[in-house]
Amino acid sequence: MKAFVFPGQGAQFVGMGLDLYESTAEAQAMFEQANEILGFSITDIMFEGTPEELKQTKVTQPAIFLHSVILSKVMGEAFQPNMVAGHSLGEFSALVANGTLSFEDGLKLVSQRALAMQKACELKPSTMAAVLALEDEVVEKICSEVDGIVVPANYNCPGQLVISGEVEAINVACEKMKEAGAKRALVLPVGGAFHSPLMEPAREELAAAIDNTIFNEPSCPIYQNVTTTAVTVSKEIKENLIAQLTAPVKWTQSVQNMIKDGATTFVEVGPGKVLQGLVKKIDRNMETMSGSAS
């Protein structure tokens, strides 16, 4: 069985999507439509902008979403998922790919999500840090003992967990993680504390937008970041998507459940190969590949 997975923020690069734009008239039309919906030329930034321009949350998130969704379209017959999942932002790409959301609605939500997250980031100095080679339970315990807001945010693969919170609390937690034997506890170059309680203002804003969006019944199950299990009911998908901004991304557990439910091949649809690497670390027997235009 094939699982199609969609990357999140961090997979962007200058020049992304240009090959897709030039590949088919359908792809070109979707990119042009995106420029109209967003009200600025995201294609200019994607194809020939600077890394700095591309790194702005309001650009990064729609750019990765567009790359993933348009690639899934131009894959044609090769895109036949038995199940889908997306890492954080990638969940929106997955929901368009399995028919739960229309392309236009998905893009609008991603754009609103990015702007709401940007605003939430500006309210309080906050950040994220990667913790390597420490058991999840130890990371969780240290986070719970540090003063201030710091929580586990991304369970990426065994031995790789990202924490999120207030700058001061993150710095203290990182020191404690190293003392506890972490190989590394490294503050990441991100603009804020994604998937933490500090995203509550963004969650409220996005909840209103999601509530006003039509969700169809999906063509195949999505394994969502919040629940990690197969979801096929649009009402549940909506609730999980709203909860996602302040809850941890349980990627390890999602992939484990997909494998338990029969996945043997993971196809990464979008820029980069980050998720293929994580899947291999979760279970090295899995076959992984990149989706490519047919």
Which burial class, exposed, middle or buried, applies to 168 when counting CB atoms under 10 A from its CB (0-12, 13-18, 19+)? middle
- Contact in structure between 163 and 173 (CB atoms under 8 Å): yes
Annotated active-site residue in 67, 72, 87, 88: 88
* Cα→Cα distances 166→129, 194, 271, Å: 11, 11, 30
67 assigned to active site: no
- Among residues 93, 195, 196, 254, the one annotated as catalytic is 195
Query: 165 Cβ partners below 8 Å, 6+ apart?
Result: 126, 127, 128, 143, 148, 149, 150, 151, 173, 193, 196, 198
- Token pair 């909840």 is found at 207
Contacts of 92 (CB under 8 A, 6+ apart): 65, 86, 101, 106, 109, 110, 113, 241
d(CA 268, CA 257): 17
Length of the chain as a residue count: 294
**Among this protein's residues, is 87 annotated catalytic?**
no
- The answer to whether the beta carbons of residues 128 and 171 sit under 8 Å apart is no
Hey, which residues are catalytic here?
A: 88, 195
